[in-house]
Structure 1
Amino acid sequence: MKNFVITVARGFGSGGRDIAAMLADELGVHSYDKRILTLASQYSGYPEHFFREADETLNGSLITKQLQALPKHHAPTGELSKFTSDDRLFDYQKIIIEKLAASESCVIVGKCADYILKDYDNVVSIYVEAPRSYTLRRVMERMDDITVEEAHHLITKTDKYRADYYKYYTGGNYWTNPVNYDLTFNNARLGDERCVKLTLDCMKLKFGDDFVEYMKSIGKDI
Structure 2
Amino acid sequence: MNTIITIGRQFGSGGREIGEMVANHFGIKCYDKELLSRAAKESGFCEEMIQNHDERPTNSFLYNLVMDTYSFGYNSSSFVDMPISHKVFLAQFDTIKKIAQEGPCVIVGRCADYALSDFPNVLNLFITADEECKIKRIKERFEDITTDDKAKDMMNKKDKQRQSYYNYYSSKKWGRADSYDLCINSSILGIDGTVKFITQYIEDYELSKKL
Task: Give the aligned partner of residue 153 of structure 1.
Answer: 153
How far apart, CA to CA, are the structure 1 residues paired with 2:74 and 2:93?
14
In terms of mean alpha carbon deviation, does 138-147 or 152-161 score higher?
A: 138-147
Matches within 5 A, 1:123-142: 123-142=122-141
Task: Give the aligned partner of residue 20 of structure 1.
Answer: 19
Kept after mapping to 2: 8 A contact 1:139/1:151: yes
RMSD: 2.4
* Residue 169 to residue 15, structure 1, CA distance change in 2 (3 Å): same
Matches within 5 A, 1:1-222: 3-52=2-51, 84-146=83-145, 147-171=147-171, 173-208=172-207
Tell me the TM-score normalised to structure 1 length.
Answer: 0.76
How far apart, CA to CA, are the structure 2 residues paired with 1:119 and 1:10?
22
Partner SS for 2:123: strand
How far apart, CA to CA, are the structure 1 residues paired with 2:50 and 2:152?
27
How many residues in Structure 1 have an aligned counterpart in Structure 2?
Answer: 186
- The structure showing larger relative contact order (alpha-carbon pairs under 8 Å, at least 6 residues apart) is 2
Shift of 1:145: 3.6
In structure 1, stretches of 5+ residues that fail to align are 54-71, 212-222
Structure 2 counterpart of 1:21, which letter?
E
How far apart, CA to CA, are the structure 2 residues paired with 1:42 and 1:144?
31
* Residue 130 to residue 44, structure 1, CA distance change in 2 (3 Å): same
How far apart, CA to CA, are the structure 2 residues paired with 1:200 and 1:119?
23
